[in-house]
Structure 1
C-alpha cells in the first residue's frame, strides 16, 4: 500500500515536470516525463488516460501525426481496457506496441 501511495505521488510529480517542460517547448524531455507518468499510472484508469492525454498534447504541439493518431487510440483503449489488463513498463508512446510489456526504467523501479 505504501508503494502505491509513493507511485501516485510520483505520477503527479512526473506529470508536473512534463507540463513545465511543455511550456518551455522542450517537447522531447516533456514527453519522457509523460512516459514516466504513464508507467507509474497505467494501473489506474484516470491516471492512465491522463498520461495519454498529455502525450496527445505533445503530438499536437509537434504536429506528429503518428503520435496524434496513436494517442487517440490509446486514450480510448485506456478507458476500456485498464480495469482488466495493462502491459507492465510500457511507456505509452505511439512508437511502441500498445500491448508490449517492457522492463521498468531504472529510475522507476523503486515505485513497484
Structure 2
C-alpha cells in the first residue's frame, strides 16, 4: 500500500474515533465513509470501517445502521479481494452492491 494512501486511511480512522469518543456519531460517519472507500480492497481495514459504522449506529440509536453493518462486516472479510462496488460509502442506507461516484481526491489516492 502506498504511503499516501495509508496516511489518508489512518487519518480517517483517527478522526472517526475522535468523533465517536466525543459522542458525535454523525460526524464520525463522514470520516468512516471516507475510510470505507479507501479500504475497500483491504479486507481487515474494510471490515474495520464497517465495525466502526456499527458502533456509530449503536451510539446514535440507529437500528437500521447497526443491523445493516452486521452482514457487511462479514462480506468485507470474505469478498474484498474478489469484488467491491467502487465508491460505495458503506452505509446501511445505500445498497451494498451499488457503485458510487468517487471524488477526484479519493480517486487520486486509490490510483
TM, length-normalised to structure 2:
0.92
Question: Which structure 1 residue ranges, 4+ long, deviate > 4 Å from structure 2?
Answer: none
| Structure 2 counterparts to residues 48-87 of structure 1, below 5 A | 48-87=46-85
| Structure 2 counterparts to residues 83-94 of structure 1, below 5 A | 83-94=81-92
Give the unaligned 5+ runs of structure 2: none
Give the unaligned 5+ runs of structure 1: none
Over residues 47-67 of structure 1, what are the superposed CA-to-partner deviations in whole Å (9 max), with x where a residue is unaligned? 100100100100111121110
RMSD: 1.3
Does structure 2 retain, via aligned residues, the 8 Å contact 1:8–1:41?
no
**Post-superposition shift, 1:23?**
1.2
TM, length-normalised to structure 1:
0.91
What SS class does the counterpart of residue 11 from structure 2 fall into? Answer: helix
Q: Counterpart of 2:101? A: 103
